[in-house]
Structure 1
Amino acid sequence: MTFRTAAAIAAASVAFSGTVVAGTSVAAPASTSPSSSPGSTDLTTLVYEVPDCEGCTVQLANVRLPEGAEQPVVWQSKVKQVEDGEVRFMVSPRRTWGMSMTIRAPWEGHTGYVTTVVQRYRGQAVGDRVSFKQARKAGVASSCWAGTRSDEARTKVVVRKVMVDGVKKKVPGALAFTRVTQDWHEPMRRAYGGVLGTQDADICHD
């Protein structure tokens, strides 16, 4: 199973059960492409503070569709669990440019998608602090982070239990966003009550 072409991907960006903006409809294996420069072993430590979601599982992804390509270049991290209120990853800095983050909460019902962490809601500027009330009212958002060149980046992620439209009925879901608006990449997608989700990983671009 593979990702579809860009045109098919665009056509597939529709709501799932009135809750989620789905990206592509199938998953792809992690890329084994080399690090940012030949012989480079430099890594960035990404620390996510997730105090509201102990036991949640987190995965990072970087999915790019090069110009003229039919298949995207895909990288995915290992799935890690939030312990003592945080989760850490060590990645090549270039993986962070256009990176998205998915999170699974223990309380989530049969939603039909995976919750995606919002990096920026429409109307918010980089550095703006976001409240739950603001997030809950938001209708458009980006899950794509512009990345970092720093040796370490620390980000607080807010996760709240909310009711969403599941596959068959209303079920508990998760609203997840960075407490402070991050530098971001396109695309902006429709959010439902502030919630973003995907059926795989988001394709991000500058």
Structure 2
Amino acid sequence: MFTRTAAVIAALLTTVLATVLAPSATSAAPAAAPADRAAQPRTAVTFTVDDCEGCEIQLSSAVGTYAEADAGKVDVWNSKVKTVEGGSVTFTVPTKRTWGMSVAVEAPWEGFTGYRTTLAWRYNGELQGDTVTLAEAVTKKKASACWEGTRQREVTIPIVVEKVRVQGVRTDVNGSIAFVPTTESWLKPMREVQDGVLGSQDVNICH
């Protein structure tokens, strides 16, 4: 009698332990991996520029309407500041941030202008693909600070940055004019410029 009871108990214990220790389908399933930001498409944007060694460049991107900007709904992105070395500078950025991208340039020779020199992607009267010289650029009255962007993984964009005299905060000072020598695709708005010089005191909202 004792032997049979012990056997029954042993069998019951074996069944219970097997049930407890057996891995469940839920516990065996691996946790879902979080979205990998590094997997998002990225683009290497290289700017080439002559005679601007030491110039500091920063990119920004903001797409929306002025009403959205007033409501604080525009997603604003800024890159780190990089310095032109050897005639070029490269930024590797999320591809989606090239849409509505603006380029701020600060040259070593600039005085107290009260604004940030901004690259003109397109001047009034020019179409995509048109060439622009310095002599033409300084006659322009409007320009776009907003690039339409790219889906390419690598792109090289020649730019022109030249020293010019501009009206500063207190008096005339050395400033810069910055533009693309070949007109690029662009977004609105077209802003007023002074002798081709595009300056920004805030983020450019593009649309």
Task: Answer with 177-186 or 196-205: which moved more.
Answer: 196-205
Q: CA deviation at 1:40?
A: 3.4
**For residues 176 and 38 of structure 2, what CA distance do their matches in structure 1 show?**
40
Calculate the TM-score normalised by the size of structure 1.
Answer: 0.79
| RMSD between aligned residues | 1.8
CA distance in 2, matches of 1:106, 1:63: 27
Deviations 1:120-179 (A, max 9, x none): 001111011110011000000001000000111111110110000000000000000011
Report what 1:192 is aligned to.
Answer: 194
Match of 1:95 among 83, 94, 97: 97
- Aligned positions, number: 170
- Give the number of the structure with larger relative contact order, counting CA–CA contacts within 8 Å between residues 6 or more apart: 1
Q: Give the superposition deviation at 1:51.
A: 1.3
Deviation of 1:65 (Å): 3.2
Aligned residue number for residue 9 of structure 2:
none
Query: Separation in 1 of the partners of 2:142 and 2:180?
Result: 15
Looking at structure 2, the residues matched to 55 and 154 of structure 1 have their Cα atoms a distance apart, in angstroms, of 19
Structure 1: give runs of 5+ residues left out of the alignment: 1-34
Residues 60 and 76, structure 2, Cα contact 8 Å, conserved in 1: yes
1:147 to 146, 149, 158: 149
Where does structure 1 differ by over 3 angstroms across 4 or more consecutive aligned residues?
Answer: 37-40, 65-69
Which sections of structure 2, spanning at least 5 residues, go unmatched? 1-34
Q: Aligned residues: percent identity?
A: 45
- The residue number in structure 1 matching 2:108 is 106
Paired residues of 2:54 and 2:83 also in contact (CA < 8 A): yes
Structure with larger Rg: 2
2:97 is paired with a residue whose SS is helix
- Whether 2:43 is the aligned partner of 1:41: answer no
Structure with the largest fraction of helix: 2
Q: Given the two structures, how large is their TM-score scaled by the length of structure 2?
A: 0.78
